[in-house]
Chain A
């Protein structure tokens, strides 16, 4: 079946650096791609989404890039802060299915 996966399970960065979290997807028919942040002991928190007809979308300190040619999605976090330490999930929806499919997650560790 279709799946959404992540390249790196753990990413360690220094405070102030920019972070890039990657995600590969296989369903080229998906309409939406979404990033969630999950802190320890909490439920996932919606960060940003991007439609399949877009290549880039920016939010507050975050940018999501979508490369449909290689089926790759990335989340860039500018000036990473200790509060950004969490597990980040990508998810896809659409393409005839309204059931979201989540990736396994990347743990981001920010060192002060």
Chain B
């Protein structure tokens, strides 16, 4: 099976802009979770989507949003980018909602200047 894929792998944006990141889960996996990874804060949960609905949400501002499509592919959007949004954004898929065994993609490295 193909693993989790994320596009793009690298992205440079300017403060105030918005960005959309894409994630394709492993075939058959219905849950997609998004994480932000930074050297200072480590790996932090953003949100989880299952059956096209956001089921769990971490402690991030409303500028961070996402959606999931009927084929389980997911997108994450960050509006009004801030310098502090520079991070590695990871998505992970699992078979079930709140699955313990999650499979991560390689991440999208976002740099905000």
- Assembled-state Cα–Cα distance A53/B92 (Å): 26
Is the CB–CB distance between A103 and B106 below 8 Å? Answer: no
A49-B100, A98-B98, A99-B56 as given contacts; A43 in contact with B92, CB under 8 Å: yes
Is the CB–CB distance between B58 and A99 below 8 Å? Answer: yes
Number of interface residues of A (CB under 8 A): 21
- Assembled-state Cα–Cα distance A42/B3 (Å): 12
Contact among A42, A49, A104 with B101 in the assembled complex (CB-CB below 8 Å): A49
Annotate B39-75 by CB proximity to A: 1 below 8 A, 0 otherwise: 0001111001000000111100000000000000000
Number of interface residues of B (CB under 8 A): 22
- Assembled-state Cα–Cα distance A102/B41 (Å): 10
Q: What is the distance, in angstroms, from B35's C-beta to the closest C-beta of chain A?
A: 8
B107 at the interface (CB under 8 A from A): yes
Main secondary structure of the interface of A (DSSP, over half): strand
Residues of A within 8 A of B58 (CB): 99
Main secondary structure of the interface of B (DSSP, over half): strand
B21 at the interface (CB under 8 A from A): no
Is the CB–CB distance between A104 and B104 below 8 Å? Answer: no
Q: What is the distance, in angstroms, from A6's C-beta to the closest C-beta of chain B?
A: 10
Annotate A15-48 by CB proximity to B: 1 below 8 A, 0 otherwise: 0000000000000000010101000011111100
Interface residues of chain B, those whose CB is within 8 Å of chain A, are 4, 42-45, 48, 55-58, 90, 92, 97-98, 100-107
Give 16 pairs: A residue, B residue, CB < 8 Å, sorted on A: A32-B100, A34-B101, A36-B104, A43-B90, A43-B92, A43-B105, A43-B106, A44-B90, A44-B104, A46-B103, A89-B43, A91-B43, A98-B98, A99-B45, A99-B58, A100-B102
